[in-house]
Chains A and B, each alone.
Chain A
Amino acid sequence: MIDRKKSPAIHDAVEFDLRLKPCEQFTLDNGVPVYAVNAGEQEVLMIELVFYAGNWYEQQNIVAATTNFLLKNGTTNKAALALNEHFEFHGAYLNRHCYNETATLTLHCLNKHLPKLLPAVAEILAESVFPAEELAIYKQNQKQRLEVNLKKCDFIANRLIDEYLFGIEHPYGKYTSTADYDALEREQLVEFYSQYYAKGKCMVFAAGKLPADIAQQLNAAFGHLPFNTQPMPVVEHITKPAAEKKYQVTNDTAGVQAAIRIAQPFPNRHHPDFIKVQVLNNIFGGFFGSRLMSNIREDKGYTYGIHSYLQNHIQQSAWMISTEAGRDVCAATVAEVYKEMERLREELIEKEELDLVRNYMMGSILGDLDGPFQIISRWKNYVLNNLTDAYFYNNLQTIRSITAEELQELARKYLVPEAFYELTVV
């Protein structure tokens, strides 16, 4: 008979020699840098073009996101339908996303169709026209979508907490109103596109089972475009955190749950505490076995889920605790969050718990390195944040070696209630 109470021997993941697959680098004729990871078994790949075209650079609210959204909606020679049909006929996905500093255009496709698709991506980046009709439809539909979202307590809470942390004028803190959509003009998009896409600052990330001639294909499609020829404007935004720390908002008097956000400003990845705090954050609320989850979900049943994390910003981050809890247990939930902060300040983390988190984090990184898209995504993060793979190995070393005393010191430095904004939205 086997002894089912006894766990099989475990190989500690902290002992694993994790390696980040190196990223190939080359430049196109116009100086655009390309970062490429050639890996994977399936005949698929991803090409991502990153532009410095986030809301950091817009003069008026939502211009950056709208420009990004409407990239696919018409070029000099092709209407939106023809463009979409071209990509969809080849089983490809062309997605676009607008962030704060950057905005992206991402192609996922089967390798065999790449030669048909790259020229169409290039056409979008050279000849988008932003038809007035497309903008009108977009404005109408986005306003309607906003109206539905404004009914959701979590949506409201996400907007407000960012406003408190960074200020409504800051790209990380601002949000959109119906009036912002109404104020959009086609000319603004055309101008933003010209400066930040067509003649913008571009870099390319490629991953998958890359064809041998990937460099030639990329160069033929994008190497002649006027990217990276003009200097980027230097734009500075100052954060203006709110003076008041505690807020209670009623959005829906009949709501049965409250969205809770507790957050404080936190430095970016270059700060020496950032990597160490990632370990502390994991223990606090960063994974299913975290203290917040174990206490507030698994012991008390107040919520379906509670998480803490460091926001993924380049200039300045924030440490955020986020949950939706029953309206009647909302105050109790908030109290328990502060209790868990107190425990981390007052009591040393026991070896067993710390070892578990070390192994969990290492295993999680190992799993996360599995596949070309995951690897390039890590590289992209380093490039955009002006880091190198030293950050990766530094991170591993910190996970292996950080002590309970260091973690307690960090908790005493950061996990203090006075430092946090606290918001509940019903």
Chain B
Amino acid sequence: MITYNRFVLDNGLRVLVHEDAATPMAVVNIMYDVGARDENPAQTGFAHLFEHLMFGGSIHIPDYDEPLQRAGGENNAYTTNDLTNYYCQLPVQNLETAFWLESDRMLSLAFSKKSLDVQRKVVCEEFKEHYINKPYGDAWHKMRHLAYTTHPYKWMTIGDELSHIENAALDDVKNFFFRHYRPINAILVVAGNVKTEEVKRLAEKWFGDIPMGEKYVRNLTQEPVQTAGRRLEVEADVPLNAFYKTWHMDSRLSKGYYAADLITEILGGGASARLHHSLVKEQKLFSNLECYHFGTMDPGLVTIEGKLVKGVNTSDAEKAIEEELEKIKTDLVSEAELQKVKNKTESIIAFEDMSVMSRANSLAFYELTGNAALINEELAKYQQVTTEEIRDYSRKIFDAANSNTLYYNSKN
């Protein structure tokens, strides 16, 4: 049970406080309701580029990192297709330093040309390091475009192409900031050895006078229901043939999400999972095989990906996967197998909750979904899933018409 207090400032900033006297640290976590899905298709990668620019100085403070480090603190940030999260951890005695730094960059960035010039290059190197200069690095770029025709999930958070980052102009950056990085679109979570009254005082003091901004109303065109399977075959200078397949699933807050999460665990979670056992160990078709999902806010994807054992024909391997899927669509999983993945989920939640940073992050996430109280209701939702639901939901998603298949072949 994770306890918290919640209040809202006059400018709309939602504040949650999680008190934990067992730690000498405080965590300050700010989640902004903006991700790669909110980008202009001609200017992708902006949400992530921002994650870099947010460390390039704010209107009154030339450098974010230095004062934080001086206060004994550390920080980081991440961007997903759905949201952007900034967090720092520091000795609780220096909590106010984090308020000073975070509130100033919410008030306004410095928008220095130098910072933009440098960070464009840094992000381009990040792009190269992870997506160009690695074997199979562009596979998900291709798969996203295959699986999504309309929804902005069709591009990756790093950006759809290098040129979008290279061409980012200061004015575009400013507009993006003042549209999304406003109190009304943000959630502040303070966790650790703190008191709610003190957090309230500091929040009023440092964030209270920041103009509210306009509530960002997300109005994305949703992906039309897929009615026919799509396939793509590519060749590249890679040593092994690889196989990727995705199916559309329900959104994060729908009931189907919990079934999908457990299905991917049954198929792909750990060495006793079905796909690994059958296709890697028994049939020896794949040298590795994973099954997981993108539990995104808008409807996401369930995926199976793996590299083939040399000499194995990809379509034979695909058929073997289909046979495994047929089993979960036809026969009820045993109660023991379902219990196994539920136990695993219980364990994952307990281990995540060990870290105060992870608790702060989760609180912000659930508040962003509209209801922080969900943080304590997750396990019960998993517990309610039945063997029939696993079968029925497998039937629903693992349908050829709902699938996207990518053969990523070795040129050699």
Chain A, interface SS category: mixed
Beta-carbon contact of A301 and B66 below 8 Å: no
Beta-carbon contact of B72 and A84 below 8 Å: no
User: What is the minimal beta-carbon distance from A118 to any residue of chain B, in angstroms?
Assistant: 16
User: What is the minimal beta-carbon distance from A362 to any residue of chain B, in angstroms?
Assistant: 6
Using A5-B61, A11-B94, A108-B351 as known contacts, say yes or no to A366 and B24 having CB atoms under 8 A apart: yes
Beta-carbon contact of A356 and B354 below 8 Å: no
Beta-carbon contact of A366 and B272 below 8 Å: no
Taking the complex as formed, is B256 at the interface, i.e. its CB lies under 8 A from any CB of chain A?
no
Beta-carbon contact of B343 and A301 below 8 Å: no
Within 8 A of B (CB), among A154-204: none
Taking the complex as formed, is B264 at the interface, i.e. its CB lies under 8 A from any CB of chain A?
no
A16 to B72, CA, bound (A): 11
What are the interface flags for B128-158 relative to A under an 8 Å C-beta threshold, 1 for contact and 0 otherwise?
Answer: 1100111110000000000000000000000
Q: Which of B69, B73, B132, B348 touches A256 (beta carbons < 8 Å)?
A: B132
What are the interface flags for A313-335 relative to B under an 8 Å C-beta threshold, 1 for contact and 0 otherwise?
Answer: 00000000000111000000000
The interface residues of chain A lying within 8 Å CB-to-CB of B25 are: 366-367, 370
Chain B, interface SS category: helix
Beta-carbon contact of A364 and B74 below 8 Å: yes
Q: Which of B107, B118, B347, B350 touches A300 (beta carbons < 8 Å)?
A: B118
Q: Which of B69, B96, B123, B343 touches A90 (beta carbons < 8 Å)?
A: B343
Q: Which of B89, B238, B336 touches A89 (beta carbons < 8 Å)?
A: B336
Using A144-B310, A254-B237 as known contacts, say yes or no to A363 and B125 having CB atoms under 8 A apart: no
Within 8 A of B (CB), among A277-316: 287-289, 297-304
The interface residues of chain A lying within 8 Å CB-to-CB of B237 are: 254
> Which segment of A35-43, A390-398, A402-410 sits at the interface?
A35-43
The interface residues of chain B lying within 8 Å CB-to-CB of A110 are: 346-347, 350
The interface residues of chain A lying within 8 Å CB-to-CB of B120 are: 301
Within 8 A of B (CB), among A6-39: 7-8, 10-11, 13, 16
The interface residues of chain A lying within 8 Å CB-to-CB of B209 are: 1
The interface residues of chain B lying within 8 Å CB-to-CB of A257 are: 125, 128-129, 133
Using A110-B347, A152-B134 as known contacts, say yes or no to A89 and B287 having CB atoms under 8 A apart: no
Taking the complex as formed, is B211 at the interface, i.e. its CB lies under 8 A from any CB of chain A?
no
Taking the complex as formed, is B262 at the interface, i.e. its CB lies under 8 A from any CB of chain A?
no
Beta-carbon contact of A360 and B100 below 8 Å: no
What are the interface flags for A351-363 relative to B under an 8 Å C-beta threshold, 1 for contact and 0 otherwise?
Answer: 0000111011011
Q: Which of A4, A80, A81 touches B104 (beta carbons < 8 Å)?
A: A4
Q: Which of B24, B61, B70 touches A10 (beta carbons < 8 Å)?
A: B70
Beta-carbon contact of A360 and B72 below 8 Å: yes
Q: Which of A43, A44, A81 touches B272 (beta carbons < 8 Å)?
A: A81
Using A4-B60, A88-B344, A289-B66 as known contacts, say yes or no to A141 and B280 having CB atoms under 8 A apart: yes
What are the interface flags for B216-252 relative to A under an 8 Å C-beta threshold, 1 for contact and 0 otherwise?
Answer: 0000000000000000000001111000000000000
Beta-carbon contact of B355 and A151 below 8 Å: no
Beta-carbon contact of B272 and A363 below 8 Å: no
Taking the complex as formed, is B126 at the interface, i.e. its CB lies under 8 A from any CB of chain A?
yes
Beta-carbon contact of A297 and B122 below 8 Å: yes
A150 to B280, CA, bound (A): 22
Q: Which of B67, B107, B135, B348 touches A148 (beta carbons < 8 Å)?
A: B135
The interface residues of chain A lying within 8 Å CB-to-CB of B121 are: 300-302
Q: Which of A8, A11, A44, A141 touches B350 (beta carbons < 8 Å)?
A: A44
Within 8 A of A (CB), among B69-90: 69-74, 89-90
Beta-carbon contact of A304 and B125 below 8 Å: yes
Beta-carbon contact of A289 and B128 below 8 Å: no
Beta-carbon contact of A301 and B72 below 8 Å: no
The interface residues of chain B lying within 8 Å CB-to-CB of A366 are: 24-25, 72, 91
The interface residues of chain A lying within 8 Å CB-to-CB of B71 are: 10-11, 13, 359, 363
A266 to B25, CA, bound (A): 34
The interface residues of chain A lying within 8 Å CB-to-CB of B307 are: 144, 148
Q: Which of B133, B135, B340, B350 touches A42 (beta carbons < 8 Å)?
A: B350
Q: Which of A88, A137, A255, A288 touches B133 (beta carbons < 8 Å)?
A: A255
Beta-carbon contact of B126 and A363 below 8 Å: no
Beta-carbon contact of B94 and A370 below 8 Å: no
The interface residues of chain B lying within 8 Å CB-to-CB of A40 are: 354
Beta-carbon contact of B135 and A151 below 8 Å: yes
User: What is the minimal beta-carbon distance from A54 to any residue of chain B, in angstroms?
Assistant: 23
Beta-carbon contact of A137 and B280 below 8 Å: yes
The interface residues of chain A lying within 8 Å CB-to-CB of B309 are: 140-141, 144
Q: Which of B119, B206, B345, B348 touches A301 (beta carbons < 8 Å)?
A: B119
Which residue of A has the minimal Cβ distance to B95?
A8
Within 8 A of A (CB), among B316-358: 336, 339-340, 343-348, 350-351, 353-356
Beta-carbon contact of B125 and A326 below 8 Å: yes
Taking the complex as formed, is B22 at the interface, i.e. its CB lies under 8 A from any CB of chain A?
yes
A43 to B350, CA, bound (A): 8
Most chain B Cβ neighbours within 10 Å, of A13, A16, A254, A371: A13
A257 to B134, CA, bound (A): 10
Q: Which of B107, B128, B129, B355 touches A4 (beta carbons < 8 Å)?
A: B107
Taking the complex as formed, is A380 at the interface, i.e. its CB lies under 8 A from any CB of chain B?
no
The interface residues of chain B lying within 8 Å CB-to-CB of A225 are: none
Which residue of B has the minimal Cβ distance to A111?
B350
A2 to B122, CA, bound (A): 35
A-B interface, 7 closest residue pairs, ranked by CB to CB distance from nearest: A363-B72, A301-B121, A91-B347, A13-B72, A91-B343, A84-B272, A8-B96
Q: List 7 A-B contacts (CB under 8 A).
A: A8-B94, A13-B94, A141-B287, A145-B287, A256-B133, A304-B129, A324-B129
